A = this chain, B = another copy of it.
Amino acid sequence: MSYEVELKFPVIDAADLESKIEALEPERTMVREEFDVYFSHPARDFNQTDEALRMRRVGQRCSLTYKGPKIDTTSKTRREIDLSLPPGLRMFDEWAELLLALGFRPVAEVKKLRRKLWIKWQGLPVEISLDHVDELGRYVELETLTEEECVPAARAKLEELAAHLGLKNSERRSYLELLLEKRGRGEE
């Protein structure tokens, strides 16, 4: 079973961060717009169980992703099942229809412009996402996939990388949670 080890930070100085990442000589980069819809479960309160079910659309490619509860109290490490849907413009709507029929309900949408860069840090392949999230602003995510027994070592390396990049105030909340909290405050 694969685990996603992930750290997220707010970006204070985007230009400084980008130059530090460029100095690590990314193997490749990619810019894309990601559109996510999060669903609630017919019987479980995902807020309580710390799970998530997400449909993502990037161009004509869609995926369905389950995120399990976080397994520690400081990072965002969690079990992840990330499955591609067959290509096609209609896939998003057809799979959403299936989820609706089974009692899942869309609860929020998250739209972001994401610049992805792949680097190696002390031999560990790391995916860096520079995100500009609608309504929330700039964040950076450092992520690697690993087997269960390697999670602590991978996490330690990601934390060293974060220190090297000058990142502080790790954010454990998902964009979905940040967005719902922000909207909740706005409604008060």
Q: Which chain A residues numbered 67 to 98 have a C-beta less than 8 Å away from chain B? A: 68, 79, 81, 83-86, 94-95, 97-98
Interface size on A, as a range, is 20 to 34
B101 near A66 with CB under 8 A, answer yes
- Chain A residues 25 to 60 lying within 8 A of chain B, measured CB to CB, are 41-44, 51, 53
Chain B residue numbers with a CB within 8 Å of A51 are 101
Instruction: Report, nearest first, the 7 A-B pairs whose CB atoms are least far apart.
Output: A43-B43, A42-B43, A81-B98, A66-B101, A86-B86, A66-B98, A84-B86
Residues of A within 8 A of B (CB): 41-44, 51, 53, 64, 66, 68, 79, 81, 83-86, 94-95, 97-98, 101-103
